[in-house]
Amino acid sequence: MWRDLAPIGRDAQSKGYRRYAWTPADADCRTWFKEQAEARGLTYELDRNGNQWAWLGDPTAGDAVVTGSHLDSVPDGGPFDGPLGVVSSFAALDELRRRGAQFTKPLAITNFGDEEGARFGLACVGSRLAAGQLTVPAARRLRDADGVTLPEAMERAGYDPTAIGPDPERLARIGAFVELHVEQGRALDLSGDPVGIASAIWPHGRWRFDFAGEANHAGTTRLVDRRDPMLPYAETVLAARREAELARAVATFGKIAVEPNGVNAIPSLVRGWLDSRAADQESLDQVVAGVEKAAREHAERHGVDLTVVRESFTPVVEFEHALRDELAAILGAGAERRVPVLGTGAGHDAGILSGSIPTAMLFVRNPTGVSHSPAEFAAEDDCVAGVLALADVLEGLACR
C-alpha cells in the first residue's frame, strides 16, 4: 500500500507531496482508496461531502467502529501525515482477519476530504461539513488562489456538490471513531514509546492580515513618500513571535501573498496568514489580540490600511475520557508499561468529529518530530507497532 501511494502527487524537485483537494493527485489517492476497499470486499461509499467510506458489515446497523484519516497534504507535505492513518486502517483490518476476529459491530475505514485546507484555506472541510461545523453557504464561498470555488472544484473533479451539508444520520451510525496519526512532535521519541494515545488538541485558528498600501516605483519613490505594506507586515511577523513566547504558545506566518509581486515595485498589498495555537483559549486570545494590536500600530505609522479576518477556528478538544481510557486499558493490558497519553498542537478530523461522536487518537513515534515537510518520518517498526495497536483497539471495540 505504501509503495502504491508513494508516487502520487509527489513533486520531483522538492520531493514533497502536493495532494490538494479535488485535484488530479487527490483523485488518484481516492481511486487508490476505492481499490483497497474493493480488494477486501468492503462496501464502498462516497458521502455527500466527498468523504470516502469502506464498510465491513451493515453501514446502517448503528454503533459502528470507524477508523481512518486523510490522504490530502499541505504544500510539500510529508508522506505520513494522513496516509499513515488510512494505510494502517486497512492493514489493521487485514491483521484482524488474519487473527480470525469475529466482528459484532460494523467497521468502517474512512478518508476524510480536504483535511489540510491547503487549497481553500479552511482545514477539515469534509468532517466540518458532515458535523455541521461549516455552513453550506460558507462552504460555497470558499475559493482557491485562482478564484475557483469549492463547488466548482468538486464539479470539475466529477463530483456533485449540490448535496454538501450536515450529515447527522451518517454520524449517528458511529459508536466510536479512532484516528491513527504520525506524531507531530517528539514526545514519544523522548519517552521511548512507539505508540501513544491523544489527550487533547490545542485550540487553534487561522487569521488573514491584509495590509493595503500604495504601489509605486522602487527606484524613484522617496522613503518618506512611501506607503509600503511590507514594513508593518514584517513588524507583525516579529510581534507574533514575541507574543507567542510570552504566552507559551505558537504563532506562525507561513503563507504570504504580495501584489503586484514585482522586484522593482513597492507592494500595493501584503496579505499574510497567521496560524496560532495555544494550550488554552485565554493564551490563544492573548496572542492574537497582541499580534493584531501591533499590526494596527505599525500599519498606522506607515500610512497603511489593515483588515484582519478570522478564517477558521477550532476550540480546544478534550478527547472523550471513557473512550480514551478504554484504549489505554486495551493497549496497557499485558504490556510492561503504560501507553503514554499526550496532547498535540495539530488539528485533526477526530477533533472536529469529537463534538458529535466519541473520538480517540493513536500517535505513532516520529523520531525527529518534523511534520508538514518532506522530511517527516516514522520507522517501519513503529508503523507496524501502530498497526498492531490499532488492530488491538478495533478488536477491543468491535469484537466484544
Q: Is 347 in the site for ligand GLV (CB under 6 A)?
A: yes
For residue 90, the minimal CB distance to ligand GLV (Å) is 21
Q: Which of residues 236-295 bind Mn ion (CB under 5 A)?
A: none
DSSP one-letter string for 14-29: T--B---TTSHHHHHH
The answer to whether 145 and 361 have CB atoms below 8 angstroms apart is no
In the complex with ligand GLV, which residue's Cβ is closer, 314 or 356? 314
Q: Which of residues 369-388 bind Mn ion (CB under 5 A)?
A: none
Type of residue numbered 225: D
30: enclosing H helix or E strand: helix 24-39
Q: Is 398 in the site for ligand GLV (CB under 6 A)?
A: no
Name the residue with the smallest CB distance to Mn ion: 81
In the complex with ligand GLV, which residue's Cβ is closer, 123 or 188? 123
Report the distance separating Cα 304 and Cα 333, nearest Å.
61
In the complex with ligand GLV, which residue's Cβ is closer, 303 or 343? 343
Q: How many CB atoms lie within 10 A of CB 311?
A: 17
Task: Please count the residues of this chain forming the interface with Mn ion, following the rule CB under 5 A.
Answer: 2
CA distances from 224 to 119, 212, 337 (A): 38, 17, 66
107 beta partners? 56, 65
For residue 63, the minimal CB distance to ligand GLV (Å) is 29
Task: Please count the residues of this chain forming the interface with ligand GLV, following the rule CB under 6 A.
Answer: 4
- Could you say which of ligand GLV, Mn ion, none residue 106 binds, taking C-beta under 5 to 8 angstroms by partner kind? none
- Could you say which of Mn ion, ligand GLV, none residue 382 binds, taking C-beta under 5 to 8 angstroms by partner kind? none
**Which residues contact residue 352 at a Cβ distance below 8 angstroms, ignoring those fewer than 6 apart?**
124, 127, 128, 131, 133, 314
Q: Is 68 in the site for ligand GLV (CB under 6 A)?
A: no
Binding string, residues 52-91; x marks residues near Mn ion by CB under 5 A: -----------------------------xx---------
Report the distance separating Cα 109 and Cα 37, nearest Å.
9
For residue 346, the minimal CB distance to ligand GLV (Å) is 4
In the complex with ligand GLV, which residue's Cβ is closer, 298 or 348? 348
Strands 107-111 and 195-201, by their bridges, are unpaired
In the complex with ligand GLV, which residue's Cβ is closer, 72 or 210? 72
| 26, 72, 114, 116: which one binds ligand GLV (CB under 6 A) | 116
For residue 372, the minimal CB distance to Mn ion (Å) is 6
Q: Is 357 in the site for ligand GLV (CB under 6 A)?
A: no
341: enclosing H helix or E strand: strand 341-344
**CB-neighbour burial class of residue 218 (10 A; exposed 0-12, middle 13-18, buried 19+):** middle
Q: How many CB atoms lie within 10 A of CB 247?
A: 21
Q: Is 123 in the site for ligand GLV (CB under 6 A)?
A: yes
- Could you say which of Mn ion, ligand GLV, none residue 114 binds, taking C-beta under 5 to 8 angstroms by partner kind? none
E runs forming strands in the chain: 43-46, 52-56, 64-69, 107-111, 174-182, 195-201, 204-212, 216-217, 250-259, 265-266, 269-277, 305-314, 317-318, 341-344, 359-364
Question: Max alpha carbon distance in the chain (Å)?
Answer: 78
- Could you say which of Mn ion, ligand GLV, none residue 82 binds, taking C-beta under 5 to 8 angstroms by partner kind? Mn ion
Q: Is 288 in the site for ligand GLV (CB under 6 A)?
A: no
Q: Is 346 in the site for ligand GLV (CB under 6 A)?
A: yes
Instruction: Give residues in contact with ligand GLV (CB under 6 A).
Output: 116, 123, 346-347
Instruction: Give residues in contact with Mn ion (CB under 5 A).
Output: 81-82
